[in-house]
Structure 1
C-alpha cells in the first residue's frame, strides 16, 4: 500500500511531527500559521484514518502513546535524512556548507588556527569540522571531505594533490638560544634539553643528528610528550630544542616565537598530500577549501623555505 493511501493528507504527517516534537498543539500551530484547533482536527483525522490514538490527552497537556512514539521516531529519522540530502544538494551547487577535514592536531593548532580569521573572511558561508588525528595523520577518507596524509599511495579510490614537502629543522626559543647556544658540529650536548615525541617517530633526533654529523645526544636531557603540539609548546616556552616540521613551526618562526637552532634543514624526500575520496564528486565548498589550502601552503613555502 502506498504512503499516500496511508495518510488522510500530506500535511497530516508534518503537523503530527511538529505536535510530537513540541508535545503542544498550540506551538505546532505557530509553525504552520494556523490555529490550534486546526492542528487538533488534523491529528484527529490522522488518528481516525489509522485507527489508533497517537496522543494521550489530559487536562495538563498531551503525551505520545506507544503507537505515537513509534511513528514519531520513524518520521523524525526520515525528516532528518531528507534535511541532510537537501543540505548536500545545496552545498554541491553553492558556496556554503560544512566541510570536514581529517588532519593532525598539530596541523590544526599551529597551521590552521593562525589563519582561521583569514579563512572566515574568505569563506563566510563555509563551516569547518575537524576530525583530529592524535599522531601521524592516516586512515581512510570515505567519511570526510578532505584529509591530509603523509606519502599518500596512488589509489583509484582517492584523488590526491601534493600539499607540501616534508622538511624538518631544530627549533628553540630566542631566550633558549641566547642561554644555551645552538647545535653545531662540536656542540656540547650535555647543556641541551631535547624535546621528543613518544613512540615510534619517523624522524627521531638520532636520525637528524647523524644526518648532519652532530654528536650523539648522550648526556642531553629529555622532555618526552605524547602529543606533538606539546613538543612545540615546550620549545616556545624555552624548555628545550624540538625537531620542527616546517609547516607546523612556520608561524612561530615568522613571528619570532621560535628560531632555528641549526642551519641544517632535513629534506626527507617525502610529501604531505590533500586527499579526497574518488567514490563521490568533490562538493563545491570542499573544492574551495582545497584550493585555499594549496594556495596558502604555496605562499608559506615561499616565505619560509625561500624557494
Structure 2
C-alpha cells in the first residue's frame, strides 16, 4: 500500500495520541482540538481496517496493532525531524544524547559495552549523568535514563533491559570465609550494605533466617562503594550481578557459596512519553536493546 500525502496529518495525530495515551494532551501539542485528533485516528483506523486504540471510561490504550504502528510512526517522524534540523544547521545539537543512570551501573555494566556503540555510531556523542536521585525529564533534562524498578513510572515509556540477582561476596583474603558453611555463619562477619531498597534483611529471610540479629557495619550510598569496601577486606557485601562482574572477573571479590536472591525489580531504559525521541536517542535505544539481545545482559 503506497503512503499518500493525505495520510500524514492522521499519522502525526495518531503518533502524538499514542505517546500521550490521551487525545486531549495530543491536541495541546499539535494545536488542535481533541475532537480533531479523534477524527484523524478514526480515519486512520477506517483506512487500515483495524482498531488502534481501546477506548474505555478512563481514556485510551493502544491495541497490539496500535503499538506496532506507533513504534514505526515515532521512528519515522523522529528521523524526519532529525534530518530537518540537520539541514537547518542543528546537527551539532541533535548528535548528542544525554543519558542518566546510577554510577555503579554506568561503571560496571554500561561502559564496557560502549566501544561497540562508538564503533557503530561515529556521529553520535553520549553524555553520561550519574546520580542517585531520579532525573526530571523536562525540556532541559536528559533524553534517556536507565532505571532500576518495577517498570511502571508515570509519564515514562519503559523498555525492559535485564533482571538481576543478589548474592554475598567478599575478598578472598577476608579472614573467616573459609569456615563459612551456612547462611547463619555470615552473622559472625562484618556486613556491608548500600541504600538499595532490597538488602540483607531480604536475603536472610530468603535464606530461611527470620529475624536474625545483625549489624550492617559499613553502609554506602552507591553499590560501587560497597564493592570497593568488600574488595578491601572490610566485610561481606550483598552484590548485584551486573555491578559485581568486574570485581569477580579480576579476582578482587569471590562469590560465597550461598543461594542467590532474585531481585524484586529490573533495569529498564526509559524516556518521557510526552516527548518524541530525537533520532540519535532513538538510535541509542535500538542499539542498547539489540546489544543486550546479542551479547547478553
Q: TM-score range by the shorter chain?
A: 0.5 to 0.7
> Displacement of 1:89 after TM fit?
8.5
Separation of aligned partners in 2, 1:274 and 1:172: 30
Tell me what 1:173 maps to. Answer: 171
Q: Are positions 1:127 and 2:125 aligned together?
A: yes
Larger Rg: 1
Q: How does 1:264-275 map to 2 (within 5 A)?
A: 264-275=259-270
Separation of aligned partners in 1, 2:261 and 2:296: 15
Give the counterpart of 1:138 among 134, 140, 143.
134
Q: Choose 236-245 or 211-220, whichever is displaced more.
A: 211-220
Tell me what 2:194 maps to. Answer: 197
Separation of aligned partners in 2, 1:214 and 1:296: 39
Separation of aligned partners in 2, 1:277 and 1:207: 32
Q: Deviation per CA, 1:171-205: give whole Å up to 9, x if none.
A: 22333388555462452522x1211225xx41121
> Displacement of 1:98 after TM fit?
0.9
Separation of aligned partners in 1, 2:177 and 2:183: 18
TM-score (norm 2): 0.60
Give the counterpart of 2:96 among 95, 98, 118.
98
CA contact (8 A) 1:187 1:215 kept: no
Q: How does 1:149-298 map to 2 (within 5 A)?
A: 149=147, 150-153=149-152, 155=154, 157-176=155-174, 179-182=177-180, 184-187=182-185, 189-190=187-188, 192-198=189-195, 201-214=196-209, 218=213, 222-298=217-293
Give the counterpart of 1:108 among 103, 106, 109.
106
CA contact (8 A) 2:193 2:216 kept: no
> Displacement of 1:299 after TM fit?
5.3
Separation of aligned partners in 1, 2:180 and 2:245: 19
Tell me what 2:90 maps to. Answer: 87
| Structure 1 residues without counterparts, runs of 5 or longer | 1-81, 92-96, 303-307
> Displacement of 1:212 after TM fit?
0.8
Secondary structure of 1:101's partner?
strand
Separation of aligned partners in 1, 2:292 and 2:250: 17
Separation of aligned partners in 1, 2:236 and 2:130: 25
Separation of aligned partners in 2, 1:183 and 1:202: 27
Tell me the number of residue pairs that the alignment of Structure 1 and Structure 2 aligns: 209
| Structure 2 residues without counterparts, runs of 5 or longer | 1-84
> Once superposed, what is the RMSD of the aligned Cα atoms?
3.1
Separation of aligned partners in 2, 1:265 and 1:298: 23
